[in-house]
């Protein structure tokens, strides 16, 4: 298992639409293991495969991370089957938008159908931070970042800060 580089905005890779997985095989399990290592190392509570450059519809999460016992969750080909009309607001961040945070409004609860680490069909009824996190991660599968929900002014200010902190490209 290894820690991968997390791709940061602006980068067109993050805007790709991720593709469904045909089956959960050895390759997908190694990928999920590496995603989890990478997420824990970055102190995140969620990670989508596209954030390490793999356009597959795979997400890992652990909202208990940092509170003692680890409780990893694996989502392959997740589909949101229901979203609550009631909204909630969380101050979101993103490992691909480092050190930037903003309030985002999302449905308070949602129901997600997915395949687990063994490829078994599961249904998750999510609320609170779990619901926010899974919706944040599923946006990644569509090439959407939380900054896309902000005003043009706020989004451009964040992108300007990210560009300032991004190492210069060296063209050889």
In this structure, what are the phi and psi dihedrals at residue 128, rounded to the nearest 5 degrees?
60, -140
- Residue range at the interface with Zn ion (CB under 5 A); choices 69-77, 80-88, 92-100, 154-162: 92-100
Minimum gap (Å) between residue 2 Cβ and ligand K2U: 18
Q: Of 6, 32, 94, 162, which lies in the binding site for Zn ion, with binding defined by CB under 5 A?
A: 94
90 is a contact residue toward ligand K2U (CB under 6 A) = yes
Tokens of 121: 């069909």
Nearer Cβ to Zn ion (94/115): 94
Sign of CA dihedral 91, 94, 95, 101: negative
Minimum gap (Å) between residue 10 Cβ and ligand K2U: 15
- Residue range at the interface with Zn ion (CB under 5 A); choices 56-64, 94-102, 126-134, 156-164: 94-102
The pairs formed by 78-82 with CB atoms below 8 angstroms and a separation of 24 or more are 78/112, 78/113, 78/114, 78/134, 78/138, 78/141, 79/112, 79/113, 79/114, 80/110, 80/111, 80/112, 80/134, 80/135, 80/138, 81/111, 81/112, 81/113, 81/123, 82/110, 82/111
Report the residue closest to Zn ion, judged by CB: 94
Q: Of 92, 124, 141, 147, which lies in the binding site for ligand K2U, with binding defined by CB under 6 A?
A: 92
Nearer Cβ to ligand K2U (24/50): 50
Q: Of 93, 98, 119, 143, which lies in the binding site for ligand K2U, with binding defined by CB under 6 A?
A: 93
The answer to whether the beta carbons of residues 76 and 24 sit under 8 Å apart is yes
Active-site residue numbers?
Answer: 137
Site of interaction with ligand K2U (CB under 6 A): 44-47, 90, 92-96, 132-133, 136-137
């Amino acid at each position: 298992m290894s820690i991968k580089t997390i791709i940061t905005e602006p980068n067109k890779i993050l805007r790709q639409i991720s593709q469904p997985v045909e089956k959960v095989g050895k390759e997908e399990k190694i990928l999920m293991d590496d995603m989890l290592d990478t997420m824990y190392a970055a102190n995140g509570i969620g990670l989508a495969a596209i954030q390490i450059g793999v356009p597959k519809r795979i997400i890992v999460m652990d909202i208990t991370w940092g509170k003692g016992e680890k409780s990893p969750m694996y989502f392959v080909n997740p589909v949101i089957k229901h979203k609550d009309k009631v909204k909630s607001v969380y101050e979101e961040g993103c490992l691909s938008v480092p050190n930037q945070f903003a309030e985002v409004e999302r449905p308070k609860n949602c129901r997600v159908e997915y395949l687990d680490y063994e490829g078994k069909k599961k249904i998750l009824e999510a609320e609170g931070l779990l619901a926010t996190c899974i919706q944040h991660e599923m946006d990644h599968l569509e090439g959407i970042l939380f900054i896309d929900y902000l005003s043009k002014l706020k989004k451009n200010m964040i992108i300007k800060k990210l560009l300032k902190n991004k190492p210069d490209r060296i063209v050889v």
